[in-house]
Structure 1
Amino acid sequence: MQLKKQFGKRVQQLRFARKMTQEQLAERVGITIESISNIERGIYGPSFDTLEKLAIALRVPVQSLFAFDEPL
């Protein structure tokens, strides 16, 4: 599986674990719902700035966004 798809799946898992909608996450990160959807589907990867904001919004260290086999 390519990195963008693994990353997107991990973001989605973390979002589900926090009972957040794509809309809520998008609002907290300051990007569109479409952007969150594209990230979760592995269409494109986020910028470094967005990575930091995702980690803050999901309340995890940035490294956890890449810990694909780590339990939630």
Structure 2
Amino acid sequence: MIATIADGEAGLPVRFSATLAEGQSARISVPRKLGEPEQSLEISRSGDKLTVTELGSVSNQRTGALAD
């Protein structure tokens, strides 16, 4: 799994890579300005499927599959 994150078009990209075994997950968090909450997401593997979940308050979580 390789994830590349940038702050918009002009932001400096950061790349994160990991090999996830069945049932494993990786969490990526990005700090923000002082006093602002971090941005974080979790990538998890179930079989041949990767799922990305934006983390935050329970009511603000979004999930999407990357691959079938």
More strand by share: 2
Greater relative contact order (CA < 8 Å, ≥ 6 in sequence):
1
**TM-score, normalising length from structure 2?**
0.23
More helix by share: 1
